Every structure is written in C-alpha cells, then in structure tokens.
C-alpha cells in the first residue's frame, strides 16, 4: 500500500447488531448500517442507547441483504455514500438509487489513501429471500499497519484459515458475530464458541464480538428478554480461555482503539 504510515490506530464504535463504525485517520467506514429503533417486526431493546446516526462515512460495507443488515431507510439516509458489497447485491443497491461500484472479488478497492477493502467469503445460505439477491461476503479492511476482518454473517468454513494470506499479513482485529435477534440461531451464523474457533483459525490478535444483544421481535415483554444477554455472557467465558486473543467486550455505543 502507498499510504502514510503515520496512520496507526483504529478507532471502533459498536452501534449495535452488525453496525460498526471504523475510523482510520481521516477515513471512516460503517458496516451494515441499521440506524433506526424499529426494523419491520424487530425492535431495538429499550434500555439501549438509541440508534446512532454517525457523520457520513467514506463508504458503507454491506455484507448481505437480510433486513437486519441492509435496512433501506438507513442506507437511504447515507444516499451519497458508496456501498461496497458483492456484485449481485450491488445491482440491487443501485436499483434503489444508491451508489454501489462493482468490486472485483480478488482485488483490493481503495477507499482512501489510508484504507483498502477486499471482499472475502462468507457462508450464509439460510433463509434465502425471494425479493432480494442472496449474496453474502465478509470484508478485509487494510490500513498502513493494521488488518481488520468484518466477518458479516457466516458459519465456520475451512478457507477461513486463508484470510491472513489474502490480507498479506496477520488479522489484527476480527469483528465476529456471536448471536442474533432471536433466542435461537438459524444455520449460517456463529455463536460464541464458533466465533472463538474462527478467531483461532485466522490467528486474530484482537476480537470485538458483535451481532448480539440489540434487536428482538416485537411483542416480547421486557421481563422475557434475558436471552438477549446470553451470547455476551457465554462469549466472556469462552474467550477468556483463548489466551492468544485479546477481546474487547463493548456495550452498545461503546468505543475502543486498536493499535
């Protein structure tokens, strides 16, 4: 990369579910933006901070088009921001009047002098949608001195171990899903144990668990939402046994700096 090596640290804010704000120097990325409190039949937990509306990022990273990841009103609120996703999804995004370049799956896409992004595999074939494309990807984000893996929604797959080779270096930070919006995970997702295995497969140095504890189906009374915090409790126990990985357990709205 031909970048300024002074851009060293990465600031990460988790806005809930799979929405993560990643800032490197002057460049900010936003993953799978859900910037509303209500999402069809899903609701944000009332005891959590309201959905953030960060400053417009340099790019949106869109892993797939399930509604809890590709919320059209949220995307439209960022209408001038390019959406980076796989090609069939990009065509759908453009049909909504938004900006989405066609990315080559084996090349890096330069977002700025500080940041490049590359699509990587994700295995997420459960619950196919008849009205939207069903492509699913993860993303590698490369800076002058760090590599971040945003896994998207995926199950474990053998080629995960090849991600450091695709990144041309170690995975410094992995953003890994550990739950969902219901009490049970459907196929194509990772729970805390699978996320810990994924961190080991890619030899991630640091992990931020995401995709948990934020959304629930409407109609659930507050007294029956204990399952929303279960993935975080299990993840804290599970990752405590993985001594090679430093884990940041962020609250919704929490921020940390890597590097």
- DSSP letter for 80, please: T
pLDDT of 206 over the 90 cut: yes
Please return the burial class of 135, using the count of CB atoms within 10 Å of its CB with bins 0-12, 13-18 and 19+. buried
Contact 57, 78 (CB under 8 A): yes
Q: Mean per-residue pLDDT for 238-259?
A: 93
Query: Under the phi-then-psi rule, with left for phi > 0, alpha for psi from -120 to 50, and beta for the rest, what region is 110?
Result: beta
Please return the burial class of 6, using the count of CB atoms within 10 Å of its CB with bins 0-12, 13-18 and 19+. exposed
- DSSP letter for 49, please: P
pLDDT of 5 over the 60 cut: no
Domains of the chain, start order: 10-258 (3.60.15.10)
Q: What is the pLDDT of residues 216-240, one digit of tens each?
A: 999 988 888 988 999 999 999 999 9
- DSSP letter for 166, please: H
**How far is 117 from 167, CA to CA, in rounded Å?**
10
Collect all residues with Cβ–Cβ distance below 8 Å to 41 and sequence separation of at least 6: 217, 218
Contact 68, 212 (CB under 8 A): no
pLDDT range class, residue 4, cuts 50, 70, 90: very low
**How far is 210 from 20, CA to CA, in rounded Å?**
8
Q: What are the structure tokens assigned to 250, written together?
A: 């962020």
Look over the chain and give the mean of its residue pLDDT values, rounded to a whole number: 93
Q: What is the pLDDT of residues 13-49, one digit of tens each?
A: 999 999 999 999 999 999 999 999 999 999 999 888 8
pLDDT of 3 over the 50 cut: no
Position of tokens 């504890």?
A: 213
Which pLDDT value is given to residue 58? 97
Beta strands at 116-121 and 137-142: parallel, antiparallel or unpaired: antiparallel
Contact 119, 71 (CB under 8 A): no
Q: Interior CA angle at 80 toward 75 and 86, to 5°?
A: 60
**How far is 95 from 141, CA to CA, in rounded Å?**
26
Q: Against a cut of 0.85, is the pTM above it?
A: yes
Which pLDDT value is given to residue 8? 66
pLDDT of 6 over the 60 cut: no
**Segments of the chain assigned E as strands:** 10-14, 20-24, 27-31, 38-39, 42-44, 59-61, 83-84, 109-110, 116-121, 137-142, 147-150, 173-177, 206-210, 215-217, 246-247, 255-258
pLDDT of 2 over the 70 cut: no
The CA-based diameter of the chain, rounded to the nearest angstrom, is: 53
């Amino acid at each position: 990369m031909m970048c300024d090596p002074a851009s060293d640290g990465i600031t990460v804010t988790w806005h809930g579910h799979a929405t993560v704000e990643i800032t490197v120097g002057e460049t900010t990325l936003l993953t799978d933006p859900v910037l509303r409190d209500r999402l069809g039949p899903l609701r944000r937990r009332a005891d959590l901070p309201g959905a953030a509306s960060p400053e417009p990022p340099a790019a949106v990273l869109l892993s797939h088009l399930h509604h809890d990841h590709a919320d059209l009103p949220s995307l439209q609120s960022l209408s001038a921001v390019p959406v980076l996703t796989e090609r069939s999804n990009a065509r759908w995004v453009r049909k909504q009047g938004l900006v989405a370049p066609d990315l080559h799956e084996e090349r890096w896409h330069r977002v700025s002098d500080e940041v490049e992004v590359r699509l990587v595999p994700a295995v997420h074939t459960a619950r196919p949608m008849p009205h939207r494309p069903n492509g699913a990807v993860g993303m590698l984000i490369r800076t002058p001195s760090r590599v971040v893996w945003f896994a998207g929604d995926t199950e474990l797959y053998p080629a995960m171990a090849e991600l450091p080779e695709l990144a041309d270096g170690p995975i410094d930070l992995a953003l890994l899903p550990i739950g969902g919006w219901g009490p049970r995970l459907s196929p194509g997702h990772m729970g805390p144990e699978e996320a810990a295995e994924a961190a080991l497969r890619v030899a991630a140095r640091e992990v931020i668990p995401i995709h948990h504890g934020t959304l629930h189906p409407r109609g659930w009374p507050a007294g029956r939402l204990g399952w929303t915090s279960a993935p975080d409790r299990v993840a804290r126990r599970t990752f405590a046994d993985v001594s090679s990985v430093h884990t940041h357990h962020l609250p919704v709205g929490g921020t940390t700096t890597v590097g």
